[in-house]
Chain A
Amino acid sequence: MTTLSNTAIPDRPFVEASTSGGEVADYFALLKPRVMALVIFTALVGMTVSPSHVNPVIGAISLLMIAVGAGASGCLNMWWDADVDAVMTRTRTRPIPAGRIQPGEALSFGLTLSVGSVLVLGLAANWLSAGLLAFTIVFYAVIYSMWLKRSTAQNIVIGGAAGALPPMIGQAVVTGSIGIEGTVLFLIIFIWTPPHFWALALVKAGEYARAGIPMMPNTAGPDSTRRQILAYSVLLAPLGLAPVFLGFGGLIYGLVGLVGGLAMVGLSVQVLRRREGEAANKAAMSLFGFSILYLFLLFSALLAEQGLGLFRPVLG
């Protein structure tokens, strides 16, 4: 939450924040640069698969603003979750729990970038894309971080919508509307999110429990989580091929989607079968790692086909 003396987690380490301000790199870290890179990538694919074109200068500035908006929501998330971040090994070195940046500084930084990115995107592209970016920021920072994350095991399922929106924003920048291409890419990321995060949550269940976050393995149990991971992967595999049937995914995309989708299901079966000890952790981390590669390859294939002229239709 906003102060590091929150009583929800009494045993977490209290770190006195520096009053002299952090390094420039600390402020950049607040923006979650790796998430920003992923957002730029998926929004670019959303722009590329759109049926019309945009001025490259306006497109580049729009992409930058989408990235800044995503970074701002990450910053607000870090401000709100500083107490939780302090008790998890993966996040305890972040600038706020480590004491390098004060919570109030992060809040101001995040709010300023949020408002600025939405306004500039509205002026550069159109107000539909700016509205979608504003919705994404509010959804991630308020709906997910402040409400869902600490209250329901469906937190990352519903909250996944925020991470899935960038392709739709990208398409809105180009066309000024919400099209089938952006919507399908939204659905692919949305359905991909639960098996991706729950695979990690199976391994980190102890840390999430200590932080008081009701992830699925902590509430429904590991076995139920494993079954749900498989169910989402079975749903994801055919959904990943939808662009082929809708005509904006070609032969390369179809092959990547088919092999990748089958691998996702196969790895999810391994997670379901290996339930004990190191083998269980290894299976879960294999699925977690591959899920990132799968999504990256799917979107790279679309980018290569539409952006580099490698599109070869599969149907018709």
Chain B
Amino acid sequence: MSTVPQQLTPEEIQRRRKRSVAIAMVLAALVLIFYVLTIAKLGPQVLNRPL
């Protein structure tokens, strides 16, 4: 089934770009949260391992 491509105005494209940036920032924040949370849960012992 074919769909008619919708023509976005420059303003709509700009809004979409800002939403994409916001989603990227939220995803980056989630990565950071899980990293920091892991370190906090494991504690300093995470660094105590044989080299």
Contacts and interface: CB of A to CB of B under 8 A. Distances in A.
Interface of A: 19-24, 27, 55, 57-58, 61, 64, 120, 123-124
Please tell me the size bucket of the interface on B: 10 to 19
Interface string B31-49: 0010011011100000000
Nearest to A65: B33
Contacts of A124: 37
Contacts of B41: 58
Contact of B15 (A21, A57, A58): A21
Given A27-B22, A57-B39, 19 more contacts: A19-B6, A20-B8, A20-B15, A21-B12, A21-B15, A21-B16, A21-B19, A22-B15, A23-B15, A23-B18, A24-B18, A24-B19, A27-B19, A55-B40, A61-B36, A61-B37, A64-B33, A120-B33, A124-B37
A124 B36 CA distance: 10
Given A20-B8, A24-B22, A120-B33, A58 B16 contact: no
A20 B14 CA distance: 11
A57 B36 contact: yes
Contacts of B40: 55, 57-58
Contacts, number: 33
A57 B37 contact: yes
By secondary structure, the A interface counts as helix
19 contacts: A19-B6, A20-B15, A21-B12, A21-B15, A23-B15, A24-B18, A24-B22, A27-B19, A27-B22, A55-B40, A57-B36, A57-B39, A57-B40, A61-B33, A61-B36, A64-B33, A120-B33, A123-B37, A124-B37
Nearest to A123: B37
3 cross-chain pairs, A with B, having the tightest CB-CB distances, nearest first? A57-B40, A20-B12, A24-B22
B1 to A, nearest CB: 19
Contacts of B8: 20
Contacts of A58: 37, 40-41
Contacts of A19: 6
A82 to B, nearest CB: 20
B43 to A, nearest CB: 9
A20 B22 contact: no
Contacts of A27: 19, 22
Contacts of A22: 15
Interface string B1-33: 000001011001001101100100000000001
